[in-house]
């Protein structure tokens, strides 16, 4: 079975996942790095718990269908949205990458090695509804265990705007529904 078929079979029915993600977000003048735990369920529920930097440690973002919540649980520093208009564009979660990849007419796949002798399959796609800062995405998947390694979002000029490195990834774990309820 080829790499593409193996990856497709691994992710086509992804019901849930958890991961630690180290994100680097770039703009014209700044570069910031964040660390968070991601929780995802295929019914449209997402949760990110930030652990770094220190000033954001404890911040939680939740999307539960059409409802959103962000804030520091147990404080008055929270914000809720009862009717989210659009949950697309959440480029940091694997399901959004694959949604773009399978809907786009502009995709590519390559296999590469790295200095640690690991082999990766790199999937690339244009972003549906793209803009100048979010034009293409690529996802590096380790060939040995088919787990995600690195997700990159590039601008129209090919400059990396967001890089997310995945670790401690668990595919299809049982995740308690309570994690997707706003903590007031």
145: domain CATH number is: 2.50.20.10
Regions of the chain short of the pLDDT cut 70: 73-74, 76-90, 113-118, 130, 132, 183-184
Edge-to-edge order in the sheet of strand 107-113: 78-81, 67-71, 60-64, 45-52, 31-41, 16-26, 160-171, 148-154, 136-142, 119-126, 107-113
Alpha helices (H) along the chain = 3-11, 94-103
Domain residues for 142? Answer: 3-180
Beta strands in the chain (DSSP E): 16-26, 31-41, 45-52, 60-64, 67-71, 78-81, 107-113, 119-126, 136-142, 148-154, 160-171
User: What is the tens place of the pLDDT at every residue in 20-70?
Assistant: 999 999 988 999 999 999 999 999 899 999 999 999 899 999 988 777 888
Distance CA 139, CA 150 (A): 6
Confidence (pLDDT) at 87: 46
Confidence (pLDDT) at 115: 45
β-strand partners of 96: none
Cis omega (within 30 of 0) on the bond before 53? Answer: yes
Q: Please name the residue that has the structure tokens 């440690």.
A: 57
Confidence (pLDDT) at 63: 87
CA angle 155, 132, 11 (to 5 degrees): 55
Question: Both tokens of residue 158?
Answer: 């090919």
Quote the pTM value. 0.87
Query: Is the dihedral angle over the CA atoms 95, 52, 56, 18 positive or is it negative?
Result: positive
In total, how many domains does the chain have? 1
CA angle 120, 124, 125 (to 5 degrees): 160
Coil, strand, or helix at residue 4?
helix
């Amino acid at each position: 079975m080829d790499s593409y078929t193996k990856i497709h079979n691994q992710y086509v029915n992804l019901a849930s996942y958890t991961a630690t993600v180290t994100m680097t977000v770039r703009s014209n003048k700044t570069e910031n790095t964040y660390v968070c735990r991601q929780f995802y369920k295929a019914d449209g529920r997402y949760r990110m718990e930030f652990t770094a930097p220190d000033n954001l440690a404890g911040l939680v973002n939740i999307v539960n269908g059409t409802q959103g919540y962000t804030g520091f649980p147990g404080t008055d520093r929270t914000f809720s949205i009862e009717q989210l208009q659009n949950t697309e564009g959440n480029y940091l979660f694997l399901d959004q990458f694959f949604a773009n990849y399978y809907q786009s007419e502009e995709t590519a796949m390559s296999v590469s090695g790295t200095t640690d002798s690991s082999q990766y399959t790199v999937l690339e796609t244009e972003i549906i509804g793209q803009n100048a800062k979010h034009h293409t995405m690529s996802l590096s998947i380790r060939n040995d265990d088919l787990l995600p390694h690195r997700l990159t979002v590039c601008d129209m000029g090919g400059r990396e705007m967001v890089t997310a490195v995945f670790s401690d990834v668990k595919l299809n774990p049982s995740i308690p529904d309570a994690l997707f309820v706003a903590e007031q």
